[in-house]
Chains A and B, each alone.
Chain A
């Protein structure tokens, strides 16, 4: 039951109605906890035990870290608690890869273990909570039900946003009365999320699957188009998921941090990561980058470069066990360092050339997007070898030749067009991409649907809803969100 599935929406409506029928406090807490466990059991079956284990370690670990009477053994306790909470992640996600890398055969019972959905997300939420308690930034929560709900809360458990204990736990009094404003704001987010997922992401996913499924059979230009499509597919998919999750939480009176803020308008890679999957990148910043940077603070640029490369590499490996994810993270680290240390020279070059600020902004956003989309190939492929096929073709002379022949035949009607089945069959997808970019520009400038005249809103919501229902009816199974596999 994915968050974009009609069945999930039915489930949510039942929870929503019951929630506001119950008095605030423990009754609502128990309802949300029961709903969260039932939701996860429906998705992951017996792997619910893993979720409960992580919640139990977060609860007991938090109390243990707070209760330490003296600091002498605190580091040992902290490391032991962290190892306990991270153990399922190692076992289910990384052990197979680590053993493969050193040619150790795992027992079949372990090798066959599936990855519990959302494991990386709820484990990181629990780790953040334990670190905050260890640093005395947060008091350990004494009510086990509240910690359990913090870790298992159903809108967030499968793919985040990765919430902080300091933000979520104080909201779990759950005493707020039903507010039509908040419910409406939540509904708007859910609607926008569904539009992004069902109408945009699931449509863009089709040509992407064709080219990435068989990279040897496609021409360089098709590969490049698939790379661009995939960047927007992933954005619409994950931002769509995030909006549905945040909207559901809002309707239950819980504010959740945003996960995206028009990332494709970012002028450089460091800024990009402050607007893309923000809950993860801020987590990495606070719990990895800053400690490393603090350790190496007097090492000058070397400290900065080392902390950046290591943090991004770990961010890459967070996504999965495989060399492609290692290089995915490392590539962003290299690009971030390059961006930081060349920024003033690039600024000076644009100023010397007299390029207008708006043009500079557009050029920078375009370059940042292309760099992101190219690195994202590593995220999408199953094997490094496939990524090589993409990079080899995209920077080849054949790519230029493909472009030239296509432009010549398309724009100037000279010569026969190339046979590019993916490009020609999915040309309309470019309108979806244009719509995403236009909408992000409008939102960045403060223009949202909620601020439009009522008639415009009514048309947009009705047409959007009709298209979503049509899509639901024409496909038997709702495609899962791309980030469910983490």
Chain B
């Protein structure tokens, strides 16, 4: 888990960065609700300067998948 990814999730979800792991998902994090999900997407796009497709956004059901998507888009420190 990189500090940059943890920081985005921590800021949007309002939880400490230490609580963010690859397994963090809407199922185990009540703060990751449908409102926060898109705030998260916009924050990720802005932070890493990428554009995510609808399919990529829907597939992002935990932090591990988010990192995988970012790495396929050339983000080295995801």
Contacts and interface: CB of A to CB of B under 8 A. Distances in A.
Place the interface of chain A in its size category.
Answer: 10 to 19
B3 interface: no
Contacts of B61: 137
Nearest to B27: A282
Interface string A129-147: 0000011110000000000
B54 A298 contact: no
Contacts of A401: none
Contact of A304 (B35, B55, B57, B59): B35
B27 to A, nearest CB: 10
A270 B35 CA distance: 11
Contact of B34 (A137, A285, A287): A285
Determine chain B's interface SS by DSSP, over half rule: helix
B64 to A, nearest CB: 13
A291 B58 contact: yes
A294 B54 contact: yes
29 contacts: A135-B55, A135-B59, A136-B59, A137-B59, A137-B61, A270-B33, A270-B34, A285-B34, A286-B58, A287-B58, A289-B34, A290-B57, A290-B58, A291-B54, A291-B58, A293-B34, A293-B38, A294-B38, A294-B41, A294-B52, A294-B54, A294-B57, A294-B58, A297-B38, A297-B57, A303-B38, A304-B35, A304-B38, A340-B35
Contacts, number: 39
A295 interface: yes
Nearest to A132: B59
Interface of A: 134-137, 270, 285-287, 289-291, 293-295, 297-298, 303-304, 340
Interface of B: 33-35, 37-38, 41-42, 52, 54-55, 57-59, 61
Contacts of B55: 134-135
3 nearest CB pairs, A to B? A294-B57, A297-B38, A294-B54
B42 A298 contact: yes
Given A297-B42, A298-B42, A135 B35 contact: no
B57 to A, nearest CB: 4
A294 B56 CA distance: 10
Nearest to A296: B38
Contacts of B59: 135-137
Contacts of B52: 294
Contacts of A293: 34, 37-38
A440 B35 CA distance: 28
B58 A297 contact: no
Given A136-B59, A290-B58, A291-B58, A297 B34 contact: no
Contacts of A134: 55
A338 to B, nearest CB: 14
Contacts of B54: 291, 294-295
B38 to A, nearest CB: 5
A286 B57 CA distance: 10
A444 to B, nearest CB: 15
Given A135-B59, A295-B54, A290 B35 contact: no
